Amino acid sequence: MSADELIAAAKKLSRAVTGLPFSAPVTHAYNPLDYAWACHEQYLRRYGAGKKRIVFVGMNPGPFGMTQIGVPFGEIAAARDWLHLDAPIAKTGQGNTIRENPARPIEGWACARSEVSGRRLWGLFAQRFGEADKFFADHFVANYCPLAFFAGARNVTPDKLSTPEAAPLFAACNAHLAEVVRASGAEWVIGIGAFAEARARHALAEVPGIRFGRILHPSPASPAANRGWAEQATKQMRELGLWD
């Protein structure tokens, strides 16, 4: 897999989802592949190249992670100190108008809130692999949907969208995930949570040779994730035969 392939695929996905309409309860939709493109590209260039045995797939951007800096599960401290990313965030976007949500402002690297899911996810990988390059030698992390949705201050997940509005979005996301997995040469796709696993199975139904699994989503909204998430996720990866 070359970084250029991933970059081209991400640009295509961004174009496909920009301007899609969403109705109530959604009041705002953000596309961080637009205004946070520089950091997303930096992530792809630094960690996307080469064959990956395992691709982890998340749902969509969290309000204090990818929404801020364009990196999947992009908890600020982890992205800065472990992934060593630092590209600027351009709130003006790539020529597109951003209707900013006053309840969820785009603060970029200045965001003081911690994205708990990202802190847990990257924290586990850092604990297990040490350096980021060692993790990415065999793994990659992507999000299924690039858009973040809000109803005022409340996060709206893609599974809550109406079917007519979700259909074109999911079609673009399916095509993108298939491109990423084919380019990576992955043997395994691991959904981070049930939604991501189900969407990955659907999107990759025609991609031969892929095996699927799931780990518990690290969201603090999940009571199970608040009871030793790292230990549970590690156990799930071991039961799949992927980590010793």
Helix (H, G, I), strand (E, B), or coil: what is residue 56? Answer: strand
Who's near 216: CB < 8 A, 6+ residues apart?
193, 222, 224, 225, 229, 232, 233, 236
The number of domains in the chain is 1
Distance in angstroms (rounded) separating the CA atoms of residues 49 and 228: 32
Residue 97 confidence (pLDDT): 59
Distance in angstroms (rounded) separating the CA atoms of residues 208 and 195: 21
Q: What average pLDDT values come out for the chain (244 residues) when binned by 10 residues?
A: 92 96 95 97 97 98 97 98 96 66 95 97 98 98 98 96 97 98 96 98 96 98 96 98 96
Q: What are phi and psi of 144, to 5 degrees?
A: -65, -55
Q: How many CB atoms lie within 10 A of CB 161?
A: 22
Domain membership of residue 244 (yes or no) is no
Q: Of 237, 54, 68, nearest to 137 (Cα)?
A: 54
Helix (H, G, I), strand (E, B), or coil: what is residue 136? Answer: helix
Q: Of 127, 124, 158, 123, nearest to 143 (Cα)?
A: 158
pTM, full prediction: 0.96
Domain membership of residue 202 (yes or no) is yes
Domain membership of residue 143 (yes or no) is yes
Domain membership of residue 228 (yes or no) is yes
Domain membership of residue 207 (yes or no) is yes
- What CATH number does the domain containing 207 carry? 3.40.470.10
Q: What range defines the domain where residue 201 resides?
A: 3-239
Residue 90 confidence (pLDDT): 84
Residue 51 confidence (pLDDT): 96
Q: DSSP class of residue 59?
A: -
Q: Of 151, 120, 83, nearest to 224 (Cα)?
A: 120
